[in-house]
Chain A
Amino acid sequence: MVTNLKFWTIARHEYISRVKTKGFIISTILGPVFLLALVLIPAIVAALSIDKTEMTIAIVDRTTYGIGKEIVKAQPDKFWITKNSPAELNETILDGKLDAYLVLNNELVKDNKVEVYSKGGGGIGFIALIEKYVGGAITRHNLIQAGVDTATINLLEKNIKIETKKITEEGIQKDYAEFYSIFGYVMGFIVYIMLFMYGAMVMRGVIEEKANRIVEILVSSAKPFDIMFGKIVGIGSVGLTQILIWVVFLFLLTLLLPSVVGMFQNPENLQKISTASQQIGAIDKFEIPPIPIGLLIAFVGYFLLGYFLFSTLFAGIGASVDQEQDAQYISTPVYLPLVIPILFVTNVMANPDGLFATIMSLVPFFSPILMTVRISATTVPIWQIILSFMLMLLTFWGCIWISAKIYRVGILIYGKKPNFREILRWLKQA
């Protein structure tokens, strides 16, 4: 009972002293902003890059049927027809007065080829521009040559719209598969960042106490296990608080969303972005469907278990070194299983029901991230969720057993750069 009391004193101290800091408040507010930026900025940048490519392209049209005119008609800002010879154009490019020119003739068109001359580079937007307008015109011309009528061509050029439906017990509903897999990806990424952040926080906390010799006073006041686990629980509660704030915020957002979206639909800029993203092949209409509560609960659950799993290991690492720089080498075996699942996320997203995804998501150290992704992207059988929880709990039990031993011995040893053999010796000794 006495030790329990001390455990809670330590946990409460860790919690309060961290929640009060500016760092926590700032990261809670800026976290979602940062994340949103992380997701949106690449899309916006990619979308804008087509329009934003400031290159103008001269067309040397040597076809007998004047395909160049059609291209210029479709995009007069970017293309124009020149009568100059390539040799002259080469010089203007070198002078910097022209960005690029392309040569079209009957044979190239027949072979579905375009030759583009520039100073080099130009970026994705440049290539996409040519592909879309020049390539489009060539394809169209070739189709007409093959005897296809214009109505058919128009039909072909239309994008196919896939509307997915999901069969549930309540009947057939609209399925937002695309949204949910992206949402799952974002959630998995949040779990990853949080595990990283809070695991490292535990490690740094332990190192601080060791380096500042605070630990001697702590050890003379409480049991080492209570000190370690109190710290883990206290810092974990900080993470949980942050996540709960976000979850509540997200929940409120989905309630308020219709009006929020209405507000955003007005500005022309946003319209431009969405049309631009259509051009590059991104999601054409981004609707935000309701986010099921079960998903959020699973998200919180996997974060918590994952946190306990990794932070106990981080605590053990922290106790075995004197200063943060020394931790780099020895913490690799902990960072590795944290980073690896991120490499698999795209595979899992592509086929969330597949054997690879199932097995990988059941590996205890990978579960927090991969299961979150899978649960969002598909309907994971409940036995797999339970199994993954059991496996994680079992692993956690093993981790805390090892870490507590390392902690108890390591926390009072100074001046030794530990290696794995040394730590193994501590395990035997404790």
Chain B
Amino acid sequence: MQKVFSKRFKYEFCNKNVINFVIWLYIVYIFLKKVVEMITLSIRNVHKKFGKVSAVRNLSFDVEQGKIFGILGPNGAGKTTTIRMIAGVIYPDEGQISVLGSNNISEVQNRIGYLPEERGLYKKLKVSDQLVYFAELKGLDSKLAFERARYWLKLLDAENWLNKKIQELSKGMQQKIQFVATILHNPELLILDEPFSGFDPINVETFKQVISDLKKEGKTILLSTHIMEQAEQLCDDVCLINYGAVVLQGSLRDVKARSGRDTIVCEFSGNGEFLNKLQNVKIISMSENRVELRFDKGFNHKEFIKGMVNNLDVSKIELSEPSLREIFIDEVTKMRENNGN
């Protein structure tokens, strides 16, 4: 009797189909888990009103782990409202925000670094005390916080600021301190609202480098900006919002490809005045020996190239994608016109 049972047991569980099914289930589970883990931040149908004004309308997007995600949009589009909701400073009226696998942001606060648009530091506090306090608030031990503060300031050539009071520092210097305060506790998700505003070009480059280094470490970075060149250089994915709603969304490459290869860049020498007479063409920028232009449907490539070669000494003709800046301006003006009608 026992033998029969054990045999049967063996048979049932050694059945290849069953084993395959279990393995398959496990693979699906791993895959799903990976997918879920890959999404650091997910926003679903979020609405936020201030009084009667809708700041954010039905906003949805995902930010994948280890990527730099840019929220773009004109002033007053709802960028900062969105970012503040993600940082847990304000709460959405409707919809769901899930950060680092949690729907309750206060649970994962310690793993987020937030750089607000309007920077704030205690004016009378020493730089070291300031940095240590903010890091402690994120759950870091004070000694470790001090070590890291010193490390970062050294990296930014600012080690001798440690004992200075905030009010003794210039605005740019304070910006640096604020940035360091944001990353001191080694957060997995960085939320940077206009991270480069107030920096000189050299510091902009420094912090671009810092941000891409952090990305290499596997950090997820969400940043907002209205300077498209910066977004183009840094971001993997972008989301353009206007009037509190998403206009365009996707990877930088997709967004650009979607708007088509309708831009021509030429480098030449000679008098480029004839370019102004061309039809079905919009000149985006023109300097002495370089022109960037976009063409409409009725544009005749052959004639254009003929004209170029006949009139000018051309060194380069390139068909390329429009810059993010162009896409941005296009979309925003399109929306304004629609709203006007």
Residue ranges of A at the interface with B (Cβ–Cβ < 8 Å): 2-3, 5-6, 9-10, 13, 17, 208-209, 212-223, 412
Interface residue? B35 (CB, 8 A)? no
A347 to chain B: closest CB distance in Å?
43
The list of the 9 closest CB pairs from A to B, nearest first, reads: A213-B120, A214-B120, A221-B137, A216-B116, A213-B118, A220-B114, A220-B87, A212-B120, A219-B89
Establish whether residues A220 and B88, one from each chain, have CB atoms under 8 Å apart when the complex forms: yes
Residues of B within 8 A of A3 (CB): 106
> A36: shortest Cβ distance to chain B, in Å?
31
Q: How far is the CA of A215 from the CA of B120 in the complex (A)?
A: 8
Taking A9-B137, A208-B122 as given, write out 20 further A-B residue pairs in contact, using a Cβ cutoff of 8 Å, ordered by the A residue number: A2-B139, A6-B137, A9-B133, A9-B136, A10-B137, A13-B136, A212-B121, A212-B123, A213-B116, A213-B119, A213-B120, A214-B120, A217-B114, A217-B116, A217-B137, A220-B88, A220-B89, A220-B109, A220-B112, A222-B109
Q: Which of A6, A212, A221, A412 has the most CB of B within 10 A?
A: A221
Question: Considering only CB atoms and an 8 Å cut-off, how many residues of chain B contact the other chain?
Answer: 26
- Shortest distance between the CB of B169 and any CB in chain A (Å): 14
Contacts of A209 in B (CB 8 A): 120
Known A5-B139, A216-B89; contact A221-B134, beta-carbon cutoff 8 A: yes
Those of B122-136 within 8 Å (CB) of chain A:
122-123, 125, 129, 133-134, 136
CB closest chain-A residue, reference B126: A17
Query: Are B118 and A17 interface neighbours, CB within 8 A?
Result: no
Residues of A within 8 A of B129 (CB): 17
Is A17 touching B120 in the complex (CB atoms < 8 A)?
A: no
Contact A222 B137, beta carbon cutoff 8 Å: yes
The answer to whether B106 touches A218, judged by C-beta atoms less than 8 angstroms apart, is no
The answer on a CB contact under 8 Å between B109 and A221 is yes
Contact between chains at B118 and A216 (CB < 8 Å): yes
Complex CA–CA separation, A313 to B314 (angstroms): 75
CA–CA, A295 to B118, complex, Å?
50
Instruction: Report the separation of the CA atoms of residues A285 and B313 in the bound assembly, to the nearest whole angstrom.
Output: 112
30 contacts between A and B (CB under 8 A): A3-B106, A6-B137, A9-B133, A10-B137, A13-B133, A13-B136, A17-B129, A209-B120, A212-B120, A212-B121, A212-B123, A213-B116, A214-B122, A216-B116, A216-B118, A217-B114, A217-B116, A217-B120, A220-B87, A220-B88, A220-B89, A220-B109, A220-B114, A220-B116, A221-B110, A221-B137, A221-B138, A222-B137, A223-B106, A412-B90
Q: From B86, which residue of chain A is reached at the shortest CB distance?
A: A220
**In the complex, residue of chain B having the shortest beta-carbon distance to the beta carbon of A414:** B118
Instruction: Check A17/B125 contact, CB under 8 A, given A216-B118, A216-B120.
Output: yes
Residues of B within 8 A of A218 (CB): 137
CB-defined contacts of B241 to chain A, threshold 8 Å: none
Smallest CB-CB separation from A21: which chain B residue? B124
Q: Does B181 contact A (CB under 8 A)?
A: yes
> Which A-chain residue is minimally distant from B107 (CB atoms)?
A2
CB neighbours (8 Å) of A5 from chain B are: 139
How many Å from the CB of B55 to the closest CB on chain A?
A: 13
Q: A219 near B119 (CB under 8 angstroms)?
A: no
Most chain A CB neighbours (cut-off 10 Å) among B87, B118, B121, B133: B133
Interface 1/0s, chain B 155-193, versus A by CB < 8 A? 000000000000000000000000001000000000000
For A10, list chain B residues within 8 Å (CB): 137
Within 8 Å CB of B123, what residues of A?
A: 212
Task: State A3–B90 Cα separation when bound (angstroms).
Answer: 18
Task: State A17–B89 Cα separation when bound (angstroms).
Answer: 25
> Which residues of chain B in 82-128 are interfacial with respect to chain A, using CB atoms and an 8 Å cutoff?
84, 87-90, 106, 109-110, 112, 114, 116, 118-123, 125
CA distance A213 to B121 in the complex (A): 8
CA distance A250 to B118 in the complex (A): 48
A residues in contact with B136, CB < 8 Å: 9, 13
Q: Give A212's nearest chain B residue, CB to CB.
A: B120
Contact in complex: A214, B137 (CB < 8 Å): no
A412 / chain B contacts, CB cutoff of 8 Å: 89-90
A19 to chain B, nearest CB (A): 13
Across the two chains, which residue of chain A brings its CB closest to B113? A220
- B106 to chain A: which residues have CB within 8 Å? 3, 223
Contact residues in B for A222 (Cβ distance below 8 Å): 109, 137
Closest chain B residue to A230, Cβ basis: B137
B87 to chain A: closest residue by CB: A220
Query: Nearest Cβ distance between residue B264 and chain A, in whole angstroms?
Result: 45
Contacts of B121 in A (CB 8 A): 212, 214
A208 (CB) vs chain B CBs: closest residue: B122
**Contact between B109 and A217, CB atoms less than 8 A apart:** no
Quick one: which of B49-94 are within 8 Å of A by CB? Answer: 84, 87-90
Among A10, A213, A214, A216, the most chain B Cβ lie within 10 Å of the Cβ of A216
What is the CA–CA distance of A215 and B121 in the complex, to the nearest angstrom? 9
* A217 proximity list for chain B (CB < 8 A): 114, 116, 120, 134, 137, 181
Complex CA gap A214/B129 in Å reads 14
Report the minimum CB–CB distance from A430 to chain B (whole Å): 11
Distance in angstroms between the alpha carbons of A5 and B138 in the assembled complex: 10
Q: Which residue of B lies closest to A10 (CB)?
A: B137
Task: Determine the residue in chain A with the shortest Cβ distance to B182.
Answer: A217
Interface residue from A13, A214, A215, A219 paired with B88 (Cβ < 8 Å):
A219
